[in-house]
C-alpha cells in the first residue's frame, strides 16, 4: 500500500514539474515574440506628405524629407516628426475676441487697436527642433516688436486708411531680416492686418467718413478715366480722318496745279511760235466761255440793215479767218524762208 502510494506521488510530481517546464517555455516564447514585435515596430517609421522627420543617432540629428516608410535602429535612433504645412497665429486678439496687446501708438501720438495674423512654415526641421525651445513663440515676439516699431512710424490716418499695404510689406520684410539673423528653422509666409480701429466710436465714425469720401473720389476718378479712354480713340479717329482728307485735298491741288502748269507751258510754246494767232484764239475761247448764250448784232456801214448771228457762228467764222490768216502767215514765213 505504501509503496503504491509512493509511486503515485512521484508520478504526480513528475507531471507537475513537466507542466511547470512547459509554462516557462511558453512564457519565454511569448516574451521572445513580444520582443521581436517591438523590435520590428521600432525598426520602421512613416512620413506623411505634410511632414518631415529628424532622426537622432547618439545625439547627432539628421533630417529625412522623403515621404513614405523608412528604417531606423531600434532603441538607438529616435525619430521626431515636424509639420511642414503653413501654420498661423494671431497677434493682438484671441480667437474668442478678447484683446491682447492690440493697443498701439502712432507717430502722431494717437492710440489705435490693430490686429494681425501671421502665417509661417518650417523650412529646416533640425533647427526648428534643436535651435530653440519654442520657435513659434520667438517668431511671435519678433513680430510684435516689428509691428510696434512700424506702427509707431506711421500716422493714425495711414494705419486706418491708405497705408495698410505699405505697413504690411514693411513689417514682413523686417521680420524676415530678423528671422534670418536668428536662424531658427522657420520662415514667415505672410502677415496681414485683420482689423484696425480707433479707441473711441466718434473717431472711428470720422475715419469711416474719410474712407467713404476717398472711395467716392476714386470712383469719380475711375469714371473720368473711363470716359477719357472712350473719347480718346474717337478723337484720334476723327483727327486721322481730317489729316487724310487734308492730304487728299493737298494732293488734288498739287495735281491740278501741275496740270495747269503743263497747259500753260504748252500754250506758251504755241504762243512763242505764232503770237498773234495764239492771242486771237485765246481771246475767242475766253469769250466763248464767258458769253456762251450772247448773240451779236452786226450793222452795215450805211445803217440800213442789221444781221443777228449766234456767237458760236461768229467764233467759228473768226476761227476760220484766224486759221486762214495763220495759213497765210505760215505761207509767208515759208516764202521768206525760201
- In this structure, are residues 174 and 146 in contact, taking their beta carbons and an 8 Å threshold? yes
- With a cut of 80, say whether residue 328 has pLDDT above it: no
Residue showing cell 501671421: 118
The packing angle between helices 201-273 and 275-290, to 10°, is: 130
What is the CA angle 318-323-326, rounded to 5?
125
The packing angle between helices 164-182 and 135-151, to 10°, is: 140
Same domain flag for 91 and 193: yes
Please check whether residue 237 lies inside any domain of the structure. Answer: no
Please check whether residue 187 lies inside any domain of the structure. Answer: yes
Same domain flag for 52 and 27: yes
Extended beta strands in 98-239, E state: 103-105, 111-122, 186-197
The residue that leads in pLDDT, 37 or 186, is 186
- Give backbone dihedrals phi and psi of 107, rounded to 5 degrees, phi first: -70, -25
Same domain flag for 91 and 75: no
Same domain flag for 47 and 145: no
Same domain flag for 90 and 172: yes
Please check whether residue 162 lies inside any domain of the structure. Answer: yes
Confidence label for 321 from pLDDT (cuts 50, 70 and 90): very low
Same domain flag for 69 and 103: no
Please check whether residue 258 lies inside any domain of the structure. Answer: no
CB atoms within 10 A of CB 129: 19
Distance in angstroms (rounded) separating the CA atoms of residues 148 and 154 = 10
Same domain flag for 72 and 28: yes
Phi-psi region of 185 (alpha: psi -120 to 50; beta: other; left: phi over 0): left
* Cell (9 digits) for 303: 445803217
Same domain flag for 60 and 100: no
Q: What pTM did the predictor assign?
A: 0.50
- In this structure, are residues 315 and 297 in contact, taking their beta carbons and an 8 Å threshold? no
- With a cut of 90, say whether residue 145 has pLDDT above it: yes
Please check whether residue 232 lies inside any domain of the structure. Answer: no
- Structure confidence by residue, pLDDT tens digits, 49-70: 888 888 888 878 888 878 878 7
* Cell (9 digits) for 298: 452786226
Distance in angstroms (rounded) separating the CA atoms of residues 22 and 24 = 5
DSSP state of 97: S
Please check whether residue 136 lies inside any domain of the structure. Answer: yes
Range from 3-7, 13-17, 47-51, 300-304 carrying the lowest mean pLDDT: 3-7
Find the mean pLDDT for residues 34-39.
66
Same domain flag for 172 and 96: yes
Give the residue from 80, 95, 122 where a domain finishes: 80
- With a cut of 50, say whether residue 335 has pLDDT above it: no
Please check whether residue 246 lies inside any domain of the structure. Answer: no
Same domain flag for 145 and 54: no
Same domain flag for 156 and 64: no
* Cell (9 digits) for 30: 511569448
Residues ≥6 apart with Cβ < 8 Å to 118: 88, 89, 90, 91, 139, 140, 143, 175, 188, 190, 191
DSSP state of 99: B
Give the residue from 181, 199, 217 where a domain finishes: 199
Give the residue from 53, 80, 107 where a domain finishes: 80
Confidence label for 286 from pLDDT (cuts 50, 70 and 90): confident
Same domain flag for 137 and 187: yes
Where in the sequence is the domain holding 189, given as residue range(s)?
Answer: 86-199
Distance in angstroms (rounded) separating the CA atoms of residues 29 and 23 = 10
pLDDT at 162: 82
Query: Considering the chain, what is the average pLDDT of its residues?
Result: 77
Q: How many domains does the chain have?
A: 3
Please check whether residue 152 lies inside any domain of the structure. Answer: yes
Amino acid at each position: 500500500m505504501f509503496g503504491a502510494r509512493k509511486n503515485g506521488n512521484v508520478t504526480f510530481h513528475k507531471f507537475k514539474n513537466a507542466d511547470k517546464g512547459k509554462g516557462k517555455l511558453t512564457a519565454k516564447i511569448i516574451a521572445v515574440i513580444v520582443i521581436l514585435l517591438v523590435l520590428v515596430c521600432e525598426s520602421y517609421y512613416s512620413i506623411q506628405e505634410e511632414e518631415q522627420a529628424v532622426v537622432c543617432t547618439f545625439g547627432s540629428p539628421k533630417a529625412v524629407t522623403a515621404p513614405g516608410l523608412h528604417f531606423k535602429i531600434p532603441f538607438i535612433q529616435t525619430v521626431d516628426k515636424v509639420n511642414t504645412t503653413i501654420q498661423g497665429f494671431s497677434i493682438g486678439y484671441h480667437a474668442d475676441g478678447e484683446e491682447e496687446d492690440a493697443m498701439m501708438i502712432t507717430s502722431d501720438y494717437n492710440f489705435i487697436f490693430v490686429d494681425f495674423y501671421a502665417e509661417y512654415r518650417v523650412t529646416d526641421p533640425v533647427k526648428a527642433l534643436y535651435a530653440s525651445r519654442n520657435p513659434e513663440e520667438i517668431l511671435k515676439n519678433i513680430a510684435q516688436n516689428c509691428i510696434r516699431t512700424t506702427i509707431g512710424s506711421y500716422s493714425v490716418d495711414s494705419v486706418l486708411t491708405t497705408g495698410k499695404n505699405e505697413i504690411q510689406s514693411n513689417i514682413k520684410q523686417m521680420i524676415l531680416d530678423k528671422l534670418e539673423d536668428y536662424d531658427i528653422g522657420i520662415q514667415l509666409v505672410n502677415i496681414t492686418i485683420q482689423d484696425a480701429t480707433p479707441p473711441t466710436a466718434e473717431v472711428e465714425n470720422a475715419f469711416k467718413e474719410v474712407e467713404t469720401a476717398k472711395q467716392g473720389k476714386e470712383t469719380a476718378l475711375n469714371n473720368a478715366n473711363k470716359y477719357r479712354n472712350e473719347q480718346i480713340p474717337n478723337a484720334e479717329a476723327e483727327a486721322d480722318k481730317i489729316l487724310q482728307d487734308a492730304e487728299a485735298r493737298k494732293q488734288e491741288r498739287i495735281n491740278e496745279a501741275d496740270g495747269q502748269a503743263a497747259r500753260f507751258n504748252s500754250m506758251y510754246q504755241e504762243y512763242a511760235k505764232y503770237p498773234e494767232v495764239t492771242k486771237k484764239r485765246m481771246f475767242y475761247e475766253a469769250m466763248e466761255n464767258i458769253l456762251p448764250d450772247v448773240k451779236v448784232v452786226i450793222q452795215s456801214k450805211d445803217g440800213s440793215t442789221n444781221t443777228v448771228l449766234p456767237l458760236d457762228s461768229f467764233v467759228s467764222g473768226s476761227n476760220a479767218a484766224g486759221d486762214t490768216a495763220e495759213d497765210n502767215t505760215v505761207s509767208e514765213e515759208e516764202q521768206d524762208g525760201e
